[in-house]
Structure formats: structure tokens, C-alpha cells
Chains A and B, each alone.
Chain A
């Protein structure tokens, strides 16, 4: 490009960005989503225009079809709560009966379901949690692209370590819909450990206590010379700060009922009360008491709450996190008080009662010197860089839950035990129980309990075409494979007769393939708009780069131009600036091209001048140095 020749050789006003698209880290949280990017092992959170790191994981669907995400969506809770969806992460890979109710009404409007993943009705649209999460991810992607000024197509996305297969698959599907290539799903505590470990160069045993808005994870890791080995992990995919809010909201409702005001709240009311409850909780992390008012159906009630009362309300949840932690340490045969340190992750660890419980259990002050809201995204960004540009570090993670198959009498036969390092492939042989049995039903489950009804059903499929044999003669080999993302594939094969029939299932408690295909088709429309926006951003960045380069050149060699020439260039600069403030990419590019044509004579004169100076010996040394440096660059 002509303009690039305007700056001195070896000098560029802006760093040249590579052709590769950027790889980012995204912490897709229940309450907030955070985006970060790492450069040479230094991760940084990508902030919004107002400087905030957090994108509230809240989506508003206006009746007209307009989708808003983040702070603006959260504000809609005040005037149009029925159009707003929050805490959607809790529904990823979940069925309707998994949902937590609030006084008989949910903060969501459920669409009639067909037994699969739950659907919501928002502003007349029927939406799956995958689509809603995809909208949050699109906002995260857009923030990164706007800030970096280039396309972002690849990401590491974090998930709770205790997320089951359905929830992991749902997260990956959401990313696909948002136009993101998932480099890896990384467990949140592992990502946090990465951020801490790399930052501090720590070694030894560490625990990560991660209490977010909707999920709890506890992980025990060994850190050693760049290796992050997860030894054991546990948690609850439906336990978090949301439960604190629910408990507070229930108390407020109870008080209203006692005062004879409004019984069962509608879902929009439930959202309002939960928001007030959250406010109260956040307030009480610093203050000792307060009073909040709730207005439902015109009836206002006032509710006083102090820290002692709050702590009593949340005590059962905090105790549960400690009981789960004790189990994980028992599994690993490690004394919690013997470890090097415990890291706090997740917004809910700001609650003083939580900190006290953790401190007591581990017998040490927990580490929280990296912002607990940002640490997971920072770790994800580090891993995104490591995966795309190479790294000496190594993350070795495990399966959080056992995987098995239903056998006679509804008993679970475990094929892969929890806390097994991934990737893993294990096979187990099963046989027929009837003479001439031609098919075998295979039911894949996840969980620790002995019986099928107490585990989570992941998939059912049938292996057909087993040749006629007496009972017990067939040899059906079922292979479970868990990849590095923690995603399961199951294959079955009858091998005794040499006849091999393979059946392979990707468990999908969630979206059917055709449904996913439809959503992808629809997202291509989004995709076109995304692409347009991205090209616009890139055009603006290019234009800005040109203007900065020209500005630097003019400061130096303004005298090479006569007044008329200078005025002509100024006019072109004005046109570029005008185009940049508009939305038309072609207009920006056209204006930049016109500017380039206008400055070509100026650029030529600068080159001549540089040569003349070099030949007159004034700066011969620097010319020689530069030529040498250039030659070295080529040789390396």
C-alpha cells in the first residue's frame, strides 16, 4: 500500500496485525460473561466501551425481533421483564423437571416440551437455552472484534467442571451458532488455576473453590513445572449465588403473604423479586443491614434484612459446598489443611460467610488476588493462546462424573469412573440374555449412584442385527470415548461371529440434529450481518491506520507540499473522517483510496528526499544500519 511507504523504513505508527484471526477466552457465566485475550502469556480482559469487564448474561428479546444483551438487557427488567431472560446457563442441557421453582412460579415462561431440553417462550418466540446462550456469545464475540479491530472466530470457552455431557454439548452447540470455532472446552477451576499458576509460578497442591451464580465446583490440582494436573473434582451444577437470591426472595414473599399481600407471583414478578433479592445480597457483603421494597400488582411491601439473617438463610448452601469439598478431598486421600493454597473463583465468593467457611475448612486464608470475576476468562485466554501458538504448559483434566450402562434390574455398570484423566477410551463386553436375541438396548447414564433412576440418562440406542445365537454367546463390545473437551461418544459392536455392526451415538439430551441444522441456517443470516459489521470495523481500523501514518509524515515533511497540494490532501482527510463516522464500508474504503491517490506525489517526494539525504552523507550510517537490519531479518 502506498501510504505505508509514507513512514520511515523500519518505523510503523501502529503494530501490524497478523492475517490470522484472533483466539479469545470466554467465561460464559450464569450471571456474567467475560472475554479476554492473551498475548505472549499475558492475558487481559477485553472491556466494554464504558470500561466494564462484565457482560451481564442477560438477553432481552423485544417483540419486534430486536435482541439486546448485557447491561441494556438487564435494564429492560425494569420496564419489560417479560422480554428478559437471565441465568440461562442453569438450563443448558436440562429438562423441564430439573428446574428450580420459586413459590410455584418460575422466572421463565416454559414452552410445552417434548421431553428433551427445556424451551422458553419469550416475546412470542420459542427459544432453546442453546439459542439464548448463542446470543450472549455473539455479544462477547462482538465486543472482542470491536476492541481488537479484527475478526474473532476461535475461542476457548469455559464450563463448570461438574457440567455433565448434555450441558457441555449444549455449550459447544451455542458457540457454533454464534459463529465461534471452539478450540477447547476448559473446566472453569482449571482455567483459574492456569491464570494463578502462570502468574505466580506456584508449585504443589492447590484447591480451586468456585462458587458462581448457578454452579459450584471444587477441584484439587497438582501444579508442577508447567503441568496442571487435576487430581479430583466435584461439585453441583445447580448450586450457586442464585440459590442465595432465591432464599432471600422466598423470605420476602413469605413476609408479604403474612401481611396479606398477593400470593403466587407471575414469572415477570418472580424476576423482579429475584433482582431485589440479589441487590440485598450484594449490599450486605459490605453493609450490616438494610431495607428493600417490593412492589407487586400495586401493593408495596418493605423488608428489612441484616447480615445475621442473611447468613442463616444461605447457611445450608454454604454447608453443602463444604460437604462436597470434604468428599473430593476424601476421594483423593488428601488432607485439606495440607495443601499449598486455595483459590477463590466466582462472584459468590465475595459473600463474607462463604469466605469464612472456606478459610475454616482449609485452615488458611484463601487467595483472591486475581479478581474472582475475571480469573476464569484470563485462564481461558491463556489456553486459547497456548492452543493456537504453542506452549510449554500442559493441562491434564479429568471426567467429573462416572459414565456407565444400564444392566439387568436397572443396575448401573460403570465403564469410566469419575476423576479418570481425559482423553480416555474404555470398552466393556456385554452379552445377550435370550436365545436368538437379535437386538440389544443400550442405555448410557452418567452419575455416581448404583441404580439407573438415580443417575442422569444421556442416551439410548439399539444395536440391531445380532446373528441368532444361544443366550450368552454374543459378544457386544461397548466402547466409551471421552475426548479432551470432556465429550462422550459411545460405540457398540458385535464381534463373536466376525460380523461387525457399529452403532455410534453422540449423547444429545438437547438439540436434535435437524433442529441444530435449522438453527445454523438461521444463524447464517446473523452471520452475514456479523460479517458485514466485521468488515466495517476492519475498514475503520485500516482508515485510522492510514490517517495516523499520514499525520506522522505530514508533521515531518509538510514543507514538501505547496499550499494547494496541502489543501487537497486536507480535503481528502476530511472525506475519510466523514466516511468513518458513517456505516458504509465501501464509502470508507473509497475515501481511503482517493486519499492514497492524492498523497502519491507527496510519498514520492519523501522517498526522493530520503535518498538525497542518504547520498549527501547526512544520515548514511542510519541507512546502512537499516539495510543491514533488513538483510538480517530476511536471513532469519
Chain B
């Protein structure tokens, strides 16, 4: 079996703006409404994009505390724990609502995923799958040097030094991504996001190295 590596979102798609009939009482329900005004039944999640679902305008700049606040407020209404005594249908709808909300939250919370998602909306695909193909020679050089430093780091202190360097670079890359999105320069955005992606992957490798050092007595 082979994989195409594409992750596909799930969830039924309701019309973007048109009201749809409530599944329970058939009264019209606006696309943005979570509950039927008539019978109070929870409505299916629909196909809103991640930003809309959490009440944001699409954009890279995002206040993390604000995101949390909105996410908590919505989960308070939609989480399956609120529907334990309701009908099986309502429990199932609550589960898909909460799942959609979790997916939106996870995507927006993580700056890299948020950036990749925004690019995808703009029709720009960052190479899917694991292997980050680096065509930028400068980035290639940087990547090789950092990998080498990590493989040579024999103890926790040495790994910490590599990690501090990678973290500083990641912060800079984040700022560059934010700036590129602000200027609407597609090429610059793509390049900076790729760099952020690489540095995030580097982070995983550093973590794996630390874990390996921990298990050796």
C-alpha cells in the first residue's frame, strides 16, 4: 500500500451562507448558528474554514490568548460532555462539531500549521509529506551545519546549545513569516514558511536526541 500523504478534512459541508433546515424541527437555521433558535437542537458543523469557525478574519497574526478564549467558549457549548443525556443523533452531531473545532484550534494554534493552511487557501501547496525538499542553497547549508552540530552533540549540555541556536533561528523565521504575509509577497511567504518548516522539523530531531540521551544510563 502506498500513501499519497495528503490529509483530508472530514465533516459534512453545508452551504457557505444559505440557511439550511434544522434536522430536528425543519425551521431555517442560519449557516453560522450552532443551535436551532426554535428547538435548541445542536446543528452539524458545516464546512466553515478554520478561521471562520473560531470567529477570526483569515490572517497570520493571531493573539494566542484570544484563540484560547474563543475555543474554550465554543467547546463549553459543543463538547460531547454537554450532550451525555441527549439523543444519539445530538450526541453524534456534538462529536463532529467538537472534532471540527479541535481541528481548527490545533491548526491555528501552531504558527507553522497556520501558515501552511493560509498558503493552501491562497492555492500554494507546501510540499506535503515528510521530506522537506530544500532548493534554497543557503537554507541547505544551514540545515547541514545544524544537523552536523546535533549529531556531534554527545551530552545534554551540547544538545542544549544546539537547541538554543535553533530556537533563536526559529523565532527569527517566525518574524520573517509574519512580515512576508503582511506584504502579500507570495514568493517570500513560501520561502520563509519553508524555512520555518525546516526549523520545526529540526526541533523534533533535537527532542528525539534528548530522549535518546535520557534512556542511556
Interface residues of A (CB under 8 A from B): 183-184, 224-225, 227, 229, 323, 326-327, 330-331, 383, 386-388, 392, 394-396, 405-408, 413, 420-433, 440-442, 472, 477, 479, 481, 483-484
Complex contact A413–B3 (CB within 8 A): yes
B42 CB, nearest partner CB in chain A, Å: 14
**Cα–Cα distance between A127 and B14 once the two chains are bound (Å):** 49
Query: Would you list the 8 A-B pairs with minimal beta carbon distance, nearest first?
Result: A484-B80, A387-B84, A425-B99, A421-B102, A427-B8, A425-B10, A423-B99, A423-B95
Chain B residue with Cβ nearest A491? B10
Complex contact A430–B207 (CB within 8 A): no
Complex contact A426–B7 (CB within 8 A): yes
A-B contact pairs, 27 of them (CB 8 A): A184-B81, A184-B84, A224-B72, A225-B72, A326-B214, A386-B81, A387-B84, A392-B76, A394-B72, A394-B75, A394-B76, A394-B79, A395-B81, A408-B1, A424-B103, A425-B11, A425-B96, A426-B7, A428-B7, A429-B3, A430-B3, A431-B1, A433-B2, A440-B1, A441-B1, A484-B80, A484-B81
Complex contact A408–B102 (CB within 8 A): no
Complex contact A428–B96 (CB within 8 A): no
Residues of A within 8 A of B80 (CB): 423, 483-484
**Cα–Cα distance between A568 and B106 once the two chains are bound (Å):** 74
B50 CB, nearest partner CB in chain A, Å: 14
Residues of B within 8 A of A427 (CB): 7-10
Complex contact B81–A429 (CB within 8 A): no
Residues of A within 8 A of B106 (CB): 420-421
Chain A residue with Cβ nearest B79? A394
- B6 an interface residue at 8 Å Cβ cutoff? yes
- B117 an interface residue at 8 Å Cβ cutoff? no
- B124 an interface residue at 8 Å Cβ cutoff? no
Chain A residue with Cβ nearest B105? A421
**Cα–Cα distance between A484 and B95 once the two chains are bound (Å):** 8
Residues of A within 8 A of B95 (CB): 423, 481, 483-484
Whether A330 contacts B211 in the complex (CB less than 8 A), given A394-B72, A394-B75, comes out as: yes
Q: Is chain B's binding surface mostly helix, strand, loop or mixed?
A: helix
Residues of B within 8 A of A408 (CB): 1-2
**Cα–Cα distance between A431 and B4 once the two chains are bound (Å):** 7
Complex contact B72–A330 (CB within 8 A): no
Partner pick for B8 among A326, A388, A428, CB 8 A cutoff: A428
Chain A residue with Cβ nearest B76? A394
Chain B residue with Cβ nearest A227? B72
- Not counting A407-B2, A441-B1, a sample of 11 additional A-B residue pairs whose C-beta atoms are within 8 angstroms of each other reads A331-B207, A386-B81, A394-B76, A396-B75, A396-B79, A423-B80, A425-B11, A425-B103, A426-B103, A432-B1, A484-B81
Residues of B within 8 A of A431 (CB): 1-4
Per-residue CB contact flags for chain B residues 96-127 toward chain A (1 = under 8 Å, else 0) read 10110011011000000000000000000000
**Cα–Cα distance between A225 and B6 once the two chains are bound (Å):** 38
- B210 an interface residue at 8 Å Cβ cutoff? yes
B72 CB, nearest partner CB in chain A, Å: 5
- B85 an interface residue at 8 Å Cβ cutoff? yes
Residues of B within 8 A of A406 (CB): 1
Interface residues of B (CB under 8 A from A): 1-4, 6-11, 68, 72, 75-76, 79-81, 84-85, 95-96, 98-99, 102-103, 105-106, 207, 210-211, 214-215
B34 CB, nearest partner CB in chain A, Å: 16
Residues of B within 8 A of A483 (CB): 80, 95
A334 CB, nearest partner CB in chain B, Å: 13
Residues of B within 8 A of A428 (CB): 3, 6-8
Complex contact B2–A472 (CB within 8 A): yes
Q: Is chain A's binding surface mostly helix, strand, loop or mixed?
A: strand
Chain B residue with Cβ nearest A320? B215
B204 CB, nearest partner CB in chain A, Å: 10
Complex contact B207–A330 (CB within 8 A): yes
**Cα–Cα distance between A396 and B105 once the two chains are bound (Å):** 12
**Cα–Cα distance between A430 and B2 once the two chains are bound (Å):** 6
Complex contact A424–B1 (CB within 8 A): no
B110 CB, nearest partner CB in chain A, Å: 11
Complex contact B8–A327 (CB within 8 A): no
**Cα–Cα distance between A421 and B99 once the two chains are bound (Å):** 8
Chain B residue with Cβ nearest A383? B81
**Cα–Cα distance between A396 and B6 once the two chains are bound (Å):** 27
Chain A residue with Cβ nearest B215? A323
Residues of B within 8 A of A421 (CB): 102, 105-106
**Cα–Cα distance between A323 and B214 once the two chains are bound (Å):** 6
Residues of A within 8 A of B68 (CB): 224
Whether A423 contacts B210 in the complex (CB less than 8 A), given A394-B79, A394-B81, A484-B79, comes out as: no
Chain B residue with Cβ nearest A388? B85
Residues of B within 8 A of A407 (CB): 1-3
Residues of A within 8 A of B4 (CB): 429-431
**Cα–Cα distance between A423 and B93 once the two chains are bound (Å):** 12
Which of B4, B9, B11 has most chain A Cβ within 10 Å? Answer: B4
B14 CB, nearest partner CB in chain A, Å: 16
Chain B residue with Cβ nearest A406? B1
**Cα–Cα distance between A224 and B214 once the two chains are bound (Å):** 32
B77 CB, nearest partner CB in chain A, Å: 10
Chain A residue with Cβ nearest B217? A319
Residues of B within 8 A of A392 (CB): 76
Complex contact B6–A429 (CB within 8 A): yes
Whether A327 contacts B211 in the complex (CB less than 8 A), given A426-B7, A427-B7, A427-B8, comes out as: yes
A315 CB, nearest partner CB in chain B, Å: 11
**Cα–Cα distance between A39 and B44 once the two chains are bound (Å):** 33
Residues of B within 8 A of A227 (CB): 72
Residues of A within 8 A of B1 (CB): 405-408, 430-433, 440-442
**Cα–Cα distance between A433 and B80 once the two chains are bound (Å):** 39
Chain B residue with Cβ nearest A422? B102
B1 CB, nearest partner CB in chain A, Å: 5
B192 CB, nearest partner CB in chain A, Å: 22
**Cα–Cα distance between A408 and B3 once the two chains are bound (Å):** 9
Complex contact B214–A327 (CB within 8 A): yes
Complex contact B99–A481 (CB within 8 A): yes
